[in-house]
Structure formats: structure tokens, C-alpha cells
Homo-oligomer: A and B are copies of this chain.
Amino acid sequence: MIRVVILGQGMVACHLMVGVERIRRGEIGKYGIPLAKFKLPYDVDDIVFIASYDVDPAKVGKTVYEVCKSLVSDTLPVPETLKSIIVREGIHQGSLHGLVENPLGLERKYGLWEAVERIVDEWKKLRPDVFVNIITTEPAKPFYTIEKLREAIKNGSRDVSASHVYAYAAALYAMDVGKGIAFINAIPSPLANDPAVVELFEETNSIVLGDDGATGATPLTADLLEHMAERNRGVEFVVQFNIGGNTDFLSLTIPERNKMKEYTKSSIVEDILGYNPPTYIKPTGYLEPLGDKKYVAMHLEYITFNELRDSLFISARINDSPALAGLLVDLIRLGKIAVEKGYKGTIYEINAFYMKKPGPINAKSVAKIVAYYKLIDWLKRNNVIIQ
């Protein structure tokens, strides 16, 4: 059994919790879970959600069932078993400015340091193994040293992202109970890319996996560019538009959040091609009726043999949240397994496939297809899968 705490009860959390429950009941297949075809030490059934945190006053105090009913019931049946989990009040560090009116937040009532202590106390009772960070995209920056991170939290600074606070709390909890944990960071905030966080997790025999779950159009773009690179085609430019109607896209209409995404999206191009053609790759807008099924439009041109030009146009409608939820089913299991196998800090081989900005800091992006085979190798070497 893997005991999981959810941080951020949004659409991804609902897809994850609903999907795992439906798989447990045999209602649906294991589509969208990359390693579903392999036998792992933990199966999907072994995942148990024990708590969920949020700061939206419309969610805190409600059951996960109620929250998911309002978020995903247009596309999914929500199982009644989710009535047993009540959304708890977490922290936000101002990250919902402009998105949620009057957010709650333990740090408001108790100050940041006491808020952390209260959360750690809750976890000591709940005994989680894995934390999944899927709060809304927020402005965030790395701290580089444990000291600076600790000091900022002690001082109650507003410059510490909510993700950093949660990760710090998880490390404290791990230290207190003397047992390593896994922290999965599926949003762009730099955790696996912050040496401060990675070092902190090493010290507590824990693992942080991140950053920014590799879903949507970016992994597809990465694999297309690899396809071009292998044939030595000269990519002249890449345009990739993304528009959706979920909270994530709404939050990206606020400029500083958009920049968080742009950063991770453009870095892949040069890493894969070896040069840097002009690109326009970014979340472009918000349009409510698209819902969670975003529209992606892509166009690129490249130089082929004899310097002639080819043109490629892609149009897609892609469900955003379930794609990430499917990856999380693997990451939760791999996080737990890795801790048990004695790994600590972060693990590039896992991050490289599942993350847009794989930690540790300065690690190279590779095409996901390449990363996949390196992941499979790593899993075999560590006897996680037998084939």
C-alpha cells in the first residue's frame, strides 16, 4: 500500500483520484499510464489517497467527492468512495492572487513557521509515503542553499513559493519520523531544479521528482524535433500555440505565470537540435468552452536534402488533466519504490521522461523517446521491472 497526500485539489487531482478508483473497480483500462504494461512491485490498486490540501474557500471542508463533482462530472462519473476524504486547509503564499478571491491559508492565521509545524503534525498522524504537488502554477525561484530556504521560511517571507513550503514541510516530517518520503512536483516551480531542495531531501533519505509534468504538446514537439535531428534536417522555425479553458490556462493569462511555462518549453529545442531556430512556443490564451481539452496548433518548416523546404502543420485536441494524472500513477509508485531501494535526492532517469524540466539543475532535456529507453534501462538495472 502507498499512502498518498494530494497538494492542490484541482482537476488533475480529481482525474487522478477518480481514475485510480475506477481502475480499482475494474471499470476502465489502464490507458495513459506509461508503465501499465510492466509488472511493478506496486500495482495501481496499491495507491491509497489519505488526505488532500487546498486553500480555495469553495473547496476546503468539502469532501473530495463534492469538489470533483463540480470539476469533472461533465466528463467522468465520480465514485462515492471519494466522500471519505475531506479537503484540508493548506498554504498558498499569495500564489492565487487574481485567481481565487479571499483564499484561505494556514499562514494567514498562524504565520508561516507555525503553519508548517501544524501541517507536519497532521502528517505525523496520517503517515503518508508520497506527496503529489499539483497546486496551480505559481511564480517561484530556486534558493540554492538549504540555509537560505530555511531562513526565508522562518522569517515568513512571501518570496518562498507554496511548493517550496510544502517540500520543506515534507522533509521535516521525514526527519521527524525517521523514514524517507517521495515528493512529486508536477508543476513548474523549481524543486528538483533547486539544489537547496535536492540537498535537503538527500539529508532526509527522501526523493524529490520534478519539475513540471511532461504532458500536452511539449513532449510531442520534443519527439518531432528528435525525428528531424536524426535526419539532419534543418529546422527553420517552430510555432506552437496552446489554448484551453481550465484554471491552468486562466492562471497563465497573468503574465508572470506565463513566463514560468515559456521557460521550460523553449529550453527543449536547443537541447535536442543542437542549435536554436526561432521559436514561438507558449500557452497562448484562455477560452472557456474548450474546457480541459485544449487546442494545440503547431507549424514548422525544415530544410531537406538539396536545400528544399518541407512544411508540417499539426492540429490537436488534448485532454490536459488526465494526461498528467496518468503519469502521476507511475510517479507515485516509482517514488515509493526508489525510496525503498535506498535512493535519495533526485533521480534524473525518472525525471527525464516524466518531466518537462527534469532535475537536477542544468540537466539536459532529451527527446522523450530517448528518455523512455533510458528509463526502461534504469528500471531493469534496479530490478523494478523484469523482462
Binding site for B on A (CB under 8 A): 15, 18-19, 22, 28-37, 75-76, 219-220, 223-224, 226-227, 230-234, 236-237, 239, 241, 243, 274, 277-280, 284-290, 293, 295, 297, 299, 301, 303-319, 322-323, 325-326, 329, 367-370, 372-373
Question: What B residues does A278 contact at CB under 8 A?
Answer: 287-289
Q: CA–CA, A297 to B242, complex, Å?
A: 11
Given the complex of chains A and B, what is the CA–CA distance between A288 and B31 in angstroms? Answer: 22
Inter-subunit contact A315/B313 (CB<8 Å): yes
Partner of A311, one of B219, B317, B367: B317
Contacting residues, chain B, for A288 (C-beta < 8 A): 278
Chain B residue with minimal CB distance to A230? B372
Q: Mind listing 6 A-B residue pairs with CB under 8 Å?
A: A30-B232, A31-B234, A33-B305, A304-B326, A306-B325, A310-B323
Q: A306-B322, A312-B314, A369-B227 are known contacts. Are A237 and B289 too (CB-CB below 8 A)?
A: yes
Which among A30, A223, A309 has the greatest number of chain B C-beta atoms within 10 A? Answer: A223
Does B230 contact A368, Cβ atoms closer than 8 Å? yes
* Chain B nearest CB, measured from A51 CB (Å): 22
Which residues in B have their C-beta under 8 angstroms from that of A304?
Answer: 31-32, 319, 322-323, 326
| Residue from the list B75, B223, B285 in contact with A280, Cβ < 8 A | B285
Cα(A127)–Cα(B213), bound, Å = 58
B297/A322 in contact, CB under 8 A: no
Complex: chain B residue closest to A325, CB-CB: B305
- Which of A219, A274, A372 has its CB near the most chain B CB atoms (within 10 A)? A372
Q: State the Cβ distance, A275 to closest chain B Cβ, in Å.
A: 11
Contact A32 B231 (CB under 8 A): yes
List residues of chain B with CB within 8 A of the CB of A239: 243, 285, 287, 290, 295
Question: What B residues does A234 contact at CB under 8 A?
Answer: 29, 31
Residue of B nearest to A32 (CB): B305
Cα distance, A368 to B29, chains bound together (Å) = 28
Residue of B nearest to A227 (CB): B223
Q: Is the CB of A312 within 8 A of B316?
A: yes
Contact, CB under 8 Å: B237 / A290:
yes
Tell me how far the C-beta of A225 lies from the nearest C-beta in chain B, rounded to whole angstroms: 11
Q: Which residues of B contact A237 (CB under 8 A)?
A: 287, 289-290
| A295/B299 in contact, CB under 8 A | yes
Q: A232: which of B31, B224, B233, B277 is its contact (CB, 8 Å)?
A: B31
In the assembled complex, the Cα of A14 lies from the Cα of B318 at a distance in Å of 31
Identify which of B18, B231, B280, B316 contacts A310 (C-beta below 8 A).
Answer: B316
CA distance in complex: A378, B277 (Å): 30
CA distance A319 to B304 in the complex (A): 8
- Decide if B317 touches A314 in the complex (CB within 8 Å): no
Excluding A31-B234, A311-B316, 7 further A-B contacts by CB distance (< 8 Å) are A19-B305, A19-B306, A32-B306, A223-B369, A237-B287, A239-B287, A304-B326
